[in-house]
Structure 1
Amino acid sequence: MRLSIARPFAALTALAGLVAPVAAEPILQSNSLNSCQENSGFQASLFKVVFTPNNLTANIDIVAVSSVQGSVLFDVDVTAYGFSIIKQTIDPCKVGLPGLCPMTAGKIPLNFNIGLKQSDIEMIPGIAYTFPDLDAKVKVFFNMTDGPEQGRSVACVEADISNGKTVDLLGVKWATALVAFFALVSSAIMSGLGHYNAASHVAANALSLFGYFQAQAMIGLTGVPLPPIVMSWTQDFQWSMGIVRLDWMQDIFTWYQRATGGTAATIFDSIQTVSVQVEKRSLSVVEAGTGLVSRSAAMMPRSIVEPVADLTKRALLKRANIQTSSGSYIVYGIQRVAFRAGIETTNLFMTSLTFFCLMIIFVSASVAAFKYACELAVKQKWMASDKFLDFRNGWLTVLKGILFRLTLIGWPSMTILCLWEFTQNDSPALMVLAIFFLVGMAATLGWAAAKVIRIARRSILMHNNPAYILFSDPQALNKWGFLYVQFRASAYYFILPVLGYLLVKGMFIAFAQGKSTAQAVGFIIIEAAALIAASVLRPWMDKSTNSFNIAICAINFVNSIFLLIFTEVFNQPPIVTGVVGIVLWIANAIFALVLLLMLIATTVMVIFRENPDGRYQFMADDRTSFMKSQTHLTTTTELDALAVTARGGKEGFNKGLDLDDDAESITSDSLRRQTEHLGVPSAAASNNNFHNNGYNSRPRSPADPSMPFFPADGPRSPPRYNDKRAPSPFDGGAPQYGQQSPPGFNRAQNNASPSPWQRGAGYEH
């Protein structure tokens, strides 16, 4: 039985129509025609097919170049997820298509409507109009029926079909962005109110979730050919990389690039006359069909790639994207993300960079505005004078810490796009910006990480516990805490492996755009190393946070295996690739939803809880016993006043403390100066005979047991770094592992009115 040519086009457009969002009416469409055979005699620079089943018509608009002369038959194969649905042979002379019976050499512009029968419509399954991002296509072989090439295929073309349904939805982008923003802001507010334990948990989970969003975006940025549903799903998270389109910004970026000696891409200006092929299959197939250069040419996405036979005769012309010999463009990898976001490829770097800078400016202005709003509220007696006291006294230090944290959040996107810009050279000015921001951010984060390691080592040297200075000094906690609060105290160094992990991953994405297999293998190695390190070291602050992050590492590793499958290195049937794409989408959608609900529930519960810190168990490193408690006491004692003085000199920040100066810290001369004027002997004063007493390995902790603000119910000893669980230096009454409580200790008496030294060390439980 012979079908009209509209039938496969209708089926193809119907099957591809599965990919679009809700439309006013069912629609199946295709916007590009790709070659699928080497030396194909029929190529189209423009191809648009729109099928509307409600009015039984299909509009076809083609601008093609043909080198085929004579009569041909069309062998049509319609597939969905690699599974063949329709196979038919069509005679164009029976259908009456102009210019195709017989075919003539030259440029063939075609624009016509085809009427369909109801029987043709019924061949298309109803799911084709509703399933999002359907991976469907129609492939047509041109077989000669006369002349010396009779029976041979002289051309092959294929078209991808869409139905307007997609998982690339604006609502998903806004929902994920708002949840992450809400959690980060909530953690900042709780920290300002003095609930450091709850704030650190919420912030750690929010940053981990944000990192997962960025990992999803990185999958879309790889040069690996992705199924349509995976492309759309990863596009939902490109906002986390700063890839957001604003029309007026794009105009400015284009002007800036041209003004600084660059050549802006114009792919969207010519989209009405030129097709853009979003690469979804192995790049070698595309090369064979379009006469592109070898895969190494993918590292030169600003070059027009000539047919292989002409490479020795012509110089490569500078263009914005890879272009086939027929004039259509091919986008993949980072370019694919830019095209789907509606951004010219030459503007992508500036788009991400600008949003990163705007985020810094907005947050800085918001912090300053909040500070002065608090001061005004206190002055007008709208708010208690002790609210946000720490923040108001040391807001500049807090702002520094926030800017460092924003730098850490922007590190993945800037790493990828700055390195990618080195391969593009869009303009000299953009190259300078890429170098400046990459080197500047790397130096800033590297120096900050080194600073944390130095502080922790000094704490170990002086107190046998890295948590002491890291968490007892407000300056260190607020300025550098973004690098270590999410980790347990003994894993203070783990930020360096995290930064290295992101850098290496970014290098694979930026420099291996044309090497999809190498990229996928590299991702497997990187993610496997991350999963093993997370599972073995378990560096995060507690069991729940470790589980949260290990689960993210596990799903990232599974996604890297899926990436390798998408490269078709195993030569698996196409249906396997399609099914794996659906599995990736379903698995990650469920996982992301669970993480979002967990974060929302945790944040809301913490906000509306009378004592947010009470929701979490105190960490094994006893960090909360070192932190300056902000919880209001029912009674105020001289002991508490001395504790406050020893920890910072006043309620708020001691402006004399600044760990940028290594000679100034709560553990050195500053503590001596703060305590001696009160008549309280300092650690240095009480250990003048340090070397004479034979303790020449490490100085004692300044939290000296002889000081009067310790409970006198048992011996005291400083926490040991190598203990299974380092006890608080202020928790001498707490029993050690395998020991009973010291004689005379009465927990009921201490529970009545715990001091801030006891709170967080287990006395109130």
Structure 2
Amino acid sequence: MQLSTSRLGGCILFILFHLVHAEQLIEANGLTACHGADNSEITINHLSAVLTPGNNSVSLVFDGYSGVAGDVVLDIDLLVYGYKALSHQIDPCSLDLNVFCPMKAIELQIPKFTYSFNKGVLSQIPGIAYTVPDIDAVVRVNLNKKSGGSVACLETRLQNGKSVYQAGVSWTLAVIAGLGLIASTVLSLLGHSNTATHLAFRSLAFLGFIQSQAMGGLIAVEIPPMAQSWIQNTVWSMGIVKAEALQTISTWFQRATGGTPSSVLSESNTVSVVLQKRSSIQAQAMQSGSQIVLRGIKRAGARASITLSNIFMTGYLFYYFVTALVLVCVGIALAVRFALSKRTTSITKLEKAVGATADWKTVLRNTFFRLACIGYPQMCVLCLWELTQKDSAAEIVLAITMWLVTTGVLAFAAFKIFQRAIRSKQQHNTPAYTLYSDPATLSKWGILYIYYRAPVYWFLVPALVYIVVKGMVVAFGQSNGIAQSIVLLILELAMMLATGIIKPFMSKGANVFAIIATVLNSLNAIFFLVFSNVFNQPTLMTGILGVLYFIFNAVFTLALLIYLLVGMVYAVFSKTPDAKYRPLADDRDSFRWSRTVGTTELDHLEKVARGEDAEAHPNFPAAHTAPPSDEDVSMAARRPYNDVVDPSLPLFPTSYDGGRRRS
């Protein structure tokens, strides 16, 4: 059933009406010291405050310790994107609290307190403070003595209950990326290799940009609220996923192996958990009394409601869950393909056997290679970061083993590719001959180089080195956000220059999207450097850049999403999807083995040029000859080269049996 335009418009108006008329509020959790302020006489354990303009009041719960004695006044400033929107002074003696008039050097505990403002005070707050998602608003409280002199300066970040971080967005990005990879696999099984190659590139470009945003957002710098919430929509690509089953298994495993689970989130009612702090000298987790400031990877884990000591194990188990899911899909696809081949009557039984009974060991090995390539950014971040956390001895062993295995697998694959390419260049004057004509090379290592132009197959090495170095910067630099942002900027600029100058990818469109992605990654690195407060810029500038970060990345993510969806729709509904894509300029297709038995002079000429059946066909037939005989078809079926593996990103080869390859 189609949704009419009027109904769709009505739904949108209903949603907007509901949002506009929702109760307006501003809330805060936790107090931190102002930048450069000395608050040695004030200790804050917990703060929770909610301001409701509907009744001109604010309710709060407070727990802390004061070493100040005497009469004081509170100067309260509301800063929205660095702009002072409200200033108000409160005399504690006007409050119905004896501990504030005069203030005593004792432990301060306020179970719940409501303060009503005078009429017209809250009207000074601009409307955007209640409507803009992830508003960058801060309340700054200056505690001053009536006799003169400042005692302390505290500030807290406000929230209005609206955010660009939505679970539905994360699920949408993940599902579409997965569907793109599955669609490319199905197309490869149907024989549309060119379309499958391009669709796989679009899927990996989309997934790679999401992973790049997530990795950048895990560095230990203060990130404005809107940018931080957008990044939270992408951290699932790093395995930071909230799932009760994963949490239960992770906690059990840690306790069983001698570790102690973190209790930060479970004690959030009595401990202030602050996700960011406007200071460049604080460590990743600063503890003051019962207040903890989380930054970097722990900040992302806390926002996803993951126990801090379970972040590594959650990502580790998530990777294995995805691996198991892919293997199940591969098994189902092979079973369906085998069943369909038994019903086909246009080919001989021998050809059915060769085409449908692919070597399962080869299939699984190739699948693991591809999963290692896709999950390598996640492993570089979480496994190396675990070495600094030491949640338990067993988890350290798992982290080291996983990183070494994935790195070793990809390094070995790169070595094999270079070995075959160098040999092909020596024998045939081009690396493309062996890289695209040898089914074994394509099925095993094609995932790493198929998207590059044949002459620059070697670009896979800079790409892998880029991921390793970026993962190390994120994992090992959590104690120094400024150093992280500087190194990240240098790395992103180097990758942008290399991609823009070399243009390594297979087509003009692929290079355009890749170059735009690297430019945006470099721009993000500049944003992170500014967010680290290394330039001591005004607060308003930081807030504006946070909004620009969200806009730029959301727009390009949407562009990549449309780019992927258009390719998927065209591939699914077009009868001849390969006709859309032109042959690639590196002539890779001229080196691939034919899928059918040659019936023209050009087909036999192609075989002779490749050295196949040169003696069996000394005389070329006419351009239009009779159909091939049953003997020819049987001979073709016995040659595994006739049904070449599709290198597009199949999660498994189409019908090549590596164990039966002729020498």
Are the equivalent residues in 2 in contact too, given 1:628–1:644 (CA < 8 A)?
no
Q: Equivalent residue for 1:180?
A: 177
Q: What amino acid does structure 2 have at the position aligned with 1:175?
A: T
Partners of 1:417 and 1:409 in 2: CA distance: 15
Q: Equivalent residue for 1:397?
A: 362
Are the equivalent residues in 1 in contact too, given 2:503–2:511 (CA < 8 A)?
yes
Q: Equivalent residue for 2:89?
A: 89
Q: Equivalent residue for 1:425?
A: 390
Q: Equivalent residue for 2:515?
A: 550
Q: Equivalent residue for 2:616?
A: 679
Could you tell me how far 1:180 is from its partner in structure 2? 1.1
Over aligned residues, Cα RMSD in angstroms? 2.7
SS at match of 1:96: coil
Equivalent residue for 2:32, pick from 21, 31, 34 = 34
Instruction: Tell me whether 1:353 sits opposite 2:354 in the alignment.
Output: no
Partners of 1:351 and 1:505 in 2: CA distance: 21
Q: What amino acid does structure 2 have at the position aligned with 1:198?
A: T
Q: How does 1:413-492 map to 2 (within 5 A)?
A: 413-492=378-457
Instruction: Tell me whether 1:259 sits opposite 2:256 in the alignment.
Output: yes
1:69-127 Cα deviation digits (max 9, x unpaired): 11101121110111111223221112434421211112111122233455334222222
Q: Equivalent residue for 1:25?
A: 23
Q: Equivalent residue for 2:652?
A: none
Q: Equivalent residue for 1:128?
A: 129
Partners of 1:249 and 1:426 in 2: CA distance: 16
Partners of 1:344 and 1:121 in 2: CA distance: 38
Instruction: Tell me whether 1:196 sits opposite 2:196 in the alignment.
Output: no
Q: What amino acid does structure 1 have at the position aligned with 2:433?
A: Y
SS at match of 1:283: coil
1:572–1:50 CA distance, 2 compared to 1 (3 A):
same
SS at match of 2:479: coil
Partners of 2:273 and 2:340 in 1: CA distance: 57
Of residues 74-83 and 46-55 in structure 1, the stretch that sits farther from structure 2 once superposed is: 46-55
Larger helix proportion of the pair: 2
Q: Equivalent residue for 1:241?
A: 238
Partners of 1:55 and 1:675 in 2: CA distance: 90
Partners of 1:509 and 1:98 in 2: CA distance: 49
SS at match of 1:401: helix
Partners of 2:156 and 2:301 in 1: CA distance: 21
Instruction: Tell me whether 1:335 sits opposite 2:298 in the alignment.
Output: yes
1:543-572 Cα deviation digits (max 9, x unpaired): 111111011000001111111111111111
Could you tell me how far 1:639 is from its partner in structure 2? 5.8
Q: What amino acid does structure 2 have at the position aligned with 1:158?
A: E
1:581-635 Cα deviation digits (max 9, x unpaired): 11111111111111111111122112222222211111111112222455x89xx
SS at match of 1:73: strand
Partners of 2:622 and 2:365 in 1: CA distance: 34
Q: What amino acid does structure 2 have at the position aligned with 1:58?
A: V
Q: What amino acid does structure 2 have at the position aligned with 1:131?
A: V
Are the equivalent residues in 2 in contact too, given 1:192–1:388 (CA < 8 A)?
no
Q: Equivalent residue for 1:323?
A: 287
Q: What amino acid does structure 2 have at the position aligned with 1:155?
A: A
Are the equivalent residues in 1 in contact too, given 2:459–2:504 (CA < 8 A)?
yes
Are the equivalent residues in 1 in contact too, given 2:280–2:482 (CA < 8 A)?
no
Are the equivalent residues in 1 in contact too, given 2:604–2:620 (CA < 8 A)?
no
Are the equivalent residues in 2 in contact too, given 1:606–1:612 (CA < 8 A)?
yes
Are the equivalent residues in 1 in contact too, given 2:280–2:534 (CA < 8 A)?
no
Of residues 30-39 and 531-540 in structure 1, the stretch that sits farther from structure 2 once superposed is: 30-39
Partners of 1:470 and 1:391 in 2: CA distance: 24
1:229-249 Cα deviation digits (max 9, x unpaired): 111111110011111011122
Are the equivalent residues in 2 in contact too, given 1:35–1:43 (CA < 8 A)?
no
Are the equivalent residues in 2 in contact too, given 1:521–1:564 (CA < 8 A)?
yes
Q: Equivalent residue for 2:100?
A: 100
Could you tell me how far 1:387 is from its partner in structure 2? 10
Equivalent residue for 1:622, pick from 587, 606, 610 = 587
Partners of 1:29 and 1:254 in 2: CA distance: 31
Equivalent residue for 1:157, pick from 140, 151, 154 = 154
Q: How does 1:519-534 map to 2 (within 5 A)?
A: 519-534=484-499
Could you tell me how far 1:393 is from its partner in structure 2? 3.5
**Percent identity over paired residues:** 39
1:118–1:154 CA distance, 2 compared to 1 (3 A):
closer
SS at match of 2:120: helix
1:678-733 Cα deviation digits (max 9, x unpaired): 7358xxxxxxxxxxxxxxxxxxxxxxxxx848989xxxxxxxxxxxxxxxxxxxxx
Structure 2 runs not aligned, ≥5 long:
1-18, 625-663
Are the equivalent residues in 2 in contact too, given 1:378–1:384 (CA < 8 A)?
no
Calculate the TM-score normalised by the size of structure 1: 0.74
Are the equivalent residues in 2 in contact too, given 1:44–1:65 (CA < 8 A)?
yes
Q: What amino acid does structure 1 have at the position aligned with 2:58?
A: A
SS at match of 2:48: strand
Compare CA radii of gyration and give the structure with the larger one. 1
1:515-563 Cα deviation digits (max 9, x unpaired): 1111111011101100110011111111111111011000001111111
Q: Equivalent residue for 1:58?
A: 58
Of residues 114-123 and 338-347 in structure 1, the stretch that sits farther from structure 2 once superposed is: 114-123
1:203–1:622 CA distance, 2 compared to 1 (3 A):
same
Are the equivalent residues in 1 in contact too, given 2:202–2:563 (CA < 8 A)?
no
Q: Equivalent residue for 1:169?
A: 166
Equivalent residue for 1:365, pick from 323, 328, 348 = 328
Could you tell me how far 1:377 is from its partner in structure 2? 3.3
Could you tell me how far 1:195 is from its partner in structure 2? 1.4
SS at match of 1:160: strand
1:529–1:367 CA distance, 2 compared to 1 (3 A):
same
Structure 1 runs not aligned, ≥5 long:
1-20, 288-294, 299-320, 648-666, 682-706, 713-765
Of residues 487-496 and 245-254 in structure 1, the stretch that sits farther from structure 2 once superposed is: 245-254
Q: Equivalent residue for 2:67?
A: 67
Could you tell me how far 1:399 is from its partner in structure 2? 4.0
1:55–1:87 CA distance, 2 compared to 1 (3 A):
closer
Are the equivalent residues in 2 in contact too, given 1:274–1:328 (CA < 8 A)?
yes
Q: Equivalent residue for 1:315?
A: none
Q: What amino acid does structure 2 have at the position aligned with 1:346?
A: S
Q: Moved runs in structure 1, 4+ residues, more than 4 A?
A: 21-24, 380-392, 638-647, 707-712
Partners of 1:90 and 1:383 in 2: CA distance: 89
Instruction: Tell me whether 1:144 sits opposite 2:141 in the alignment.
Output: no
Are the equivalent residues in 1 in contact too, given 2:39–2:153 (CA < 8 A)?
no
Partners of 1:380 and 1:613 in 2: CA distance: 26
Partners of 1:59 and 1:612 in 2: CA distance: 62
1:390–1:116 CA distance, 2 compared to 1 (3 A):
farther
Are the equivalent residues in 1 in contact too, given 2:338–2:356 (CA < 8 A)?
no
Could you tell me how far 1:483 is from its partner in structure 2? 0.5
Equivalent residue for 1:272, pick from 269, 273, 289 = 269
Partners of 1:628 and 1:496 in 2: CA distance: 27
Are the equivalent residues in 2 in contact too, given 1:191–1:199 (CA < 8 A)?
yes
1:262–1:679 CA distance, 2 compared to 1 (3 A):
same
Are the equivalent residues in 1 in contact too, given 2:601–2:623 (CA < 8 A)?
no
Instruction: Tell me whether 1:208 sits opposite 2:171 in the alignment.
Output: no
Partners of 1:331 and 1:459 in 2: CA distance: 53
Q: Equivalent residue for 2:630?
A: none
Are the equivalent residues in 1 in contact too, given 2:45–2:270 (CA < 8 A)?
yes
Partners of 1:436 and 1:91 in 2: CA distance: 61
Partners of 1:165 and 1:390 in 2: CA distance: 55
Q: Equivalent residue for 2:115?
A: 114
Could you tell me how far 1:57 is from its partner in structure 2? 3.8
Could you tell me how far 1:512 is from its partner in structure 2? 1.0
Instruction: Tell me whether 1:49 sits opposite 2:46 in the alignment.
Output: no
